[in-house]
Amino acid sequence: MKSSPIFRLAALSALISASLLAQAQGDPATLNRIADIGKNHSQIMDRFHYLCFDIGPRLTSSPELYRGQLWAMGQFKRFGCTNVHLEKWGEFPVGSDRGPHQVCRMVEPFESEMVFTTPSWSNGTKGLERGEAMLLPETLDDLKAHAADVKGKWIVSVPGRGGSATEINAELEKDGALGRVFGSRNELVITSGPNWKSVTYEKHPGLPQVTVRKSDIDRILRNLTFKRKVVLEINAENRWFKGPVPQYNVVAEIKGTEKPDEVVIVSGHFDSWNGPLSQGAQDNGVGSMTAMEAARILCAAHAKPKRTIRFILWSGEEQGIFGSTNYVKMHKDELDKISAVLVDDGGGNYQGGYNILPQMKPMMEEAIKKSQETFPELPQALRVVNGTRMPRGGGSDHAPFNAVGVPGFFTIETGTLNYNFVHHTQNDRFESCIPAYLIQSGTNHAIVSYNLACAETLLPREPKPAQ
């Protein structure tokens, strides 16, 4: 059958308006204000500076993390967010933090400052402890034979010497050593803290375990090889706090005007490792400050999203993505109404796009459009993933959502920064970041979350698994 031209025109315009409707998102005038406030009147670097220098690193279970969370709540309230609160997701058996006294240097045969770390939830020194450096004997039996020499010494440990760590540590502790000194593989000293589960306030055994840069350990070993007397001074002030210590996510909202029970989540983890010198800047001060800046921009632009935009600063990420995992468990009944979870946790580069399913493409293209127009020099990409499911794994706070079929996005990070140089190291500091990247990231978060919150539908998601 041949249709009339009028009929064909009507069909065409219905098709166009249907596809426009499918893509209609934020109000253009509001988007202009968001882009202007985000790009030309940014406040992200001020807040990021305060976080790095006035609050500092934020180990899960530490008083600093809690202090930071209270500050963040105050900021969200100042912006004009509602429903600002701490949501408890669990407890840590004992609190850990570092005091201000963090010293590590060689004082004989000449003075040389060293860069060091100790594991979180491990014993530090008893004040400044000065002692001769002694190379760990070849075997446990050798060590036992030299037991009388160990007292008051810093025991320099190189791979392959000594045998089982547990036996060596027990023997050194019995013999009165000050602690062990290890060398890093390179100039980065990496902080972790695997023992948080096994220690209590009353019982946290073990000698200080100090790791210094490769150049520092090499200098010590060179002097020991020449039979020079090497003396080290170390003060690692590690503190313990009585548990159980309650743990929280920070939550704040801009309530939706039409579908307040449907939600777009903008998030990043607020906790960090806390090795000496680290400020938890790129991991993940950046990702929490971009979420906060998005909230500020949207409030200042008087954005009225149709759905609720919920800002969440997770914690317990570094120890096992606990904050987000428990959030998914605690909000089981609301998961079908979460459109998308945006997670910024890939370091200090800019938000360079998203990994998406094919059916998300039209909506996501529209969602990032304003951001791309605003920052043409910082292009984004939408990478369509293979298969029908969002990528699993990926070790950050998007993962627990994807595991239950809620679209979780670990923002693609694009730019010139080398994340490996800072990740969990002494270099994770304010000055390692680029302001232009943070400004784009905060603004992009605001634009994308506002657009998704105003879209006609929730973001299309993967099919539910057959029951």
Neighbours of 392 (CB within 10 A): 8
Residue 95 or 323 with smaller CB distance to Zn ion: 323
Q: Minimum Å distance from CB 282 to Zn ion?
A: 8
Residue 223 or 284 with smaller CB distance to Zn ion: 284
Q: Minimum Å distance from CB 323 to Zn ion?
A: 12
DSSP string spanning 29-67?
Answer: HHHHHHHHHHHHS--HHHHHHHIIIII----TTSHHHHH
Q: Is residue 259 within 8 Å of 306, Cβ to Cβ?
A: yes
| Cβ neighbours of residue 278 closer than 8 Å, sequence gap 6 or more | 57, 191, 272, 424, 425, 426, 427, 428, 429
Residue 72 or 300 with smaller CB distance to Zn ion: 72
274 membership: H or E segment, kind and range: none
Residue 157 or 284 with smaller CB distance to Zn ion: 284
Q: Which residues pair with 381 in a beta bridge?
A: 353
Residue 175 or 318 with smaller CB distance to Zn ion: 318
Q: Minimum Å distance from CB 148 to Zn ion?
A: 46
C-alpha closest to that of 46 among 269, 296, 226, 218: 296
C-alpha closest to that of 293 among 454, 438, 77: 438
Instruction: Please say whether the dihedral angle defined by the alpha carbons of residues 150, 190, 392 and 263, taken in this order, is positive or negative.
Output: positive
Q: Minimum Å distance from CB 315 to Zn ion?
A: 11
C-alpha closest to that of 240 among 123, 129, 128, 118: 123
Q: Minimum Å distance from CB 401 to Zn ion?
A: 16
Helix intervals (H) in 226-360: 286-300, 322-330
Q: Minimum Å distance from CB 41 to Zn ion?
A: 28
Q: Minimum Å distance from CB 317 to Zn ion?
A: 6
Please give the residue ranges that form the binding site for Zn ion (CB under 5 A).
283-284, 345
CA atoms of 173 and 178, how far apart (whole Å)? 8
Residue 265 or 367 with smaller CB distance to Zn ion: 265
Phi, psi of 438 (to 5 degrees): -70, -40
Burial class of residue 38 in the structure, from the number of CB atoms within 10 Å of its CB (0-12 exposed, 13-18 middle, 19+ buried):
buried
Q: Minimum Å distance from CB 313 to Zn ion?
A: 12
C-alpha closest to that of 265 among 27, 66, 37, 445: 445
Residue 60 or 355 with smaller CB distance to Zn ion: 60
Residue 287 or 353 with smaller CB distance to Zn ion: 287
Q: Minimum Å distance from CB 293 to Zn ion?
A: 18
CA dihedral 190, 191, 194, 199 (to 10 degrees): 150
Residue 233 or 283 with smaller CB distance to Zn ion: 283
